[in-house]
Amino acid sequence: MVTATGQNKTTGKSNASTSPSSQLQAPTGEPAENLEIAPEQPGYRPISSSVTAESLQRLPSQSLRIATFKNLQRSQGNHQAARIARQLRDTPPKPKQSPAAMIQRDLAFDPDWESTGLGNLFTWGGSQASADKAKEDYNKLFKPLEDLLVEMTSISQMKKSSITTRAKKVVDFIKAKQNKKTPVKWAEREQLKTDIELNLTEAKLIVTDYEKSRLENYTSQSDETGVALDQIGKKQPYLPDKIKVLQEEAANLSKLKQWDDADQKMKELSTLVKGVAKFKITYDSLIQKYKTATGDKDYAPTLIKSTWEAAVQSSKDGNPAGGLRELESIEKFITTVADSGLIKNVKTNYPTAHGKKDYCPGVLKDLRDALTTADTPKAWNIGLTNLKKVIDEVFELEKEVTALEDRANELSTEEDKEAILEKLEEFKTLAWKEMTKAKLVPIENSLQTYEVVELDITNPITTTHYKKSRQKITRKRLADIGLPVEETGKIQTVLNNIGKGKPDSYPDSWKWGEEYENRDNGLPVLGGALTYREYYVKPEKSSEGFGERRIVASSDGKKIYYTNNHYGSGNAATAFTCIKW
């Protein structure tokens, strides 16, 4: 064995003349020590700096080539060994032989390190130290960039923008280097390092720009939602509690830079706010009518109030679309009740009608209560119409009975008066279904009989005239006589103008307010200074001249009579009808 001084340990003689390598220096510049330059192999030749890949491949066996390569590495250093290794890689292998592969395998490099694509990128020597140095360079330069691959891939797959384009280029660079299985050339090593450093810097800039972009997008969405909420109003009874929860969740996620989750919350928040905005439009358009429709609980359908409250609660619970559907379902109902032309009349007259105990039927309250249970606009309208009809009937009956009572009280015979009043009291005790105007007809007929007798008592006339008067005077209100509309209208014109002067359309020759002398005693004699006044009523056709229609009124206006047959001419059954008494 040869030592670093060139002395043979066995013979003790110097081998300087036969061992040129004895003067070789270690890579550090110090004299080599204990280098095994000559293994016991047949045909072994000392290693010199002139060894080439071709000369190494010409050695007779693989074991000799390995031993020689190791000696070359120990004696000449890593750079010389790397030179030979590169030549071996670049030299086309002989048939069925790959010296480079065999040498690399037998040099026992780290198998995990060798299997990675970039594992050999920085390998310039065949020693373990060289492999470790390559791994260290890889970890220092490429690993930080490779760690950003997932994030870069995620950014590159988002909606196309300048940032996604930049991220895709970095992703392509990383994947290309990961898939590279052959070492780069020595001359390309520095350029590769530069490329990695540039892509790492670019990746960091992309992350910064991306986060800035996402923050701006989040801020924009938050501001837009804030404006929408200001327009809705932050104290509305239908504002969902979930809005505040989503705002806080999105804000926390943005602080953690969990942008996708923050965006999802903002989208959910935006959808919710837009739904509330739509709910607000219908709510605002109906709120005043709703207050009108539900202003009096005795007439308002409970369905309107319960549905309205359910709609508001639905929106507050985070379902404004469901609440909107409920509002729309009662929109027509609310409008029907609020805009009803009858409801004001009914509300005004119901208390009065209900207070008339003699005529107030039990059905009156039942009909009003039915309004609160109505479940459709049609049902409510029908109920209201029926209620108004009954109220009107109560007033009409009261009016008829009161009129009969007044006439009865004018009778001078106490017995006759009591008979009529008793019958009217009996009428008041009838059930509502039986309390009809038809039941009043017999009472009125009896009253008229007593009134005819009263005429004879109050008028000093002959028995013949008494009989005539009894046949020719009735008492009815104008609307109850049953006259044609044309005739009723012309009578009403005269009644409206009594005391105001003759209408301009009347000829001067027509009597208007002149004294009626009652020569035939067809009317009761008035006492004191009272007189009768005569007024002409226009005939149906102008060709009839003065016609036969007349109104005769007492000068105090308390009694008015109408005749359409000129005071009973032509043997008419009735001469006068008392239309006001």
Residue 57: per-residue pLDDT: 65
Widest distance between CA atoms in the chain: 195
Q: Which of 509, 515, 508 is nearest to 529 (CA)?
A: 515
Residue 22: per-residue pLDDT: 32
Contact 72, 81 (CB under 8 A): yes
Contact 231, 277 (CB under 8 A): yes
Average pLDDT of span 529-540: 87
On the question of pLDDT at 478 being above 90, the answer is no
Residue 75: per-residue pLDDT: 66
Radius of gyration of the chain (CA): 61
CA separation for the pair 51, 241 (Å, rounded) = 84
Average pLDDT of span 114-132: 44
On the question of pLDDT at 115 being above 70, the answer is no
As a whole-number percent, the residues of the chain with pLDDT over 90 amount to 20
Q: Which amino acid is at 421?
A: L
Which CATH code is given to the segment(s) 473-581?
3.10.450.30
Convert the pLDDT of each residue in 151-171 to its tens digit.
Answer: 888 888 888 888 888 889 988
The pair of structure tokens assigned to 571 is 């043997």
368 CB burial (10 A radius; 0-12, 13-18, 19+): buried
The pair of structure tokens assigned to 382 is 């029908």
Q: At how many degrees (to 10) do helices 149-156 and 189-232 cross? A: 50
On the question of pLDDT at 20 being above 50, the answer is no
CB neighbours of residue 459 within 10 Å: 17
End-to-end Cα distance, the chain: 162
List CB contacts of 358: < 8 A, sequence separation 6 or more: 398, 401, 428
Convert the pLDDT of each residue in 294-304 to its tens digit.
Answer: 888 888 999 99
Residue with tokens 């390559």: 134
Residue 120: pLDDT band with limits 50, 70, 90: very low
Q: Which residue did the predictor score with more confidence, 14 or 360?
A: 360
Lowest mean pLDDT among 65-69, 228-232, 284-288, 334-338: 65-69
Average pLDDT of span 474-485: 81
Q: Which of 92, 86, 85, 91 is nearest to 65 (CA)?
A: 85
**Residue 165: φ, ψ to 5°:** -65, -45
474-507 in b/e form (b: 16+ CB < 10 A) is bbeeeeeeebeeebeebbeebbeeeeeebeeebe
pTM recorded for the entire structure:
0.52
DSSP letter at 379 equals: H
Residue 17: pLDDT band with limits 50, 70, 90: very low
CA distances 254 to 215, 249, 265, 497, Å, are 7, 9, 10, 86
CA separation for the pair 536, 523 (Å, rounded) = 17
Give residue limits of the domains in the chain.
Answer: 1-107, 110-232, 341-361+370-458, 473-581
CA 384 distance to own-chain centroid: 34
For residue 8, the SS3 value is: strand
Residue 175: pLDDT band with limits 50, 70, 90: confident
Residue 323: pLDDT band with limits 50, 70, 90: very high
Residue 162: per-residue pLDDT: 87
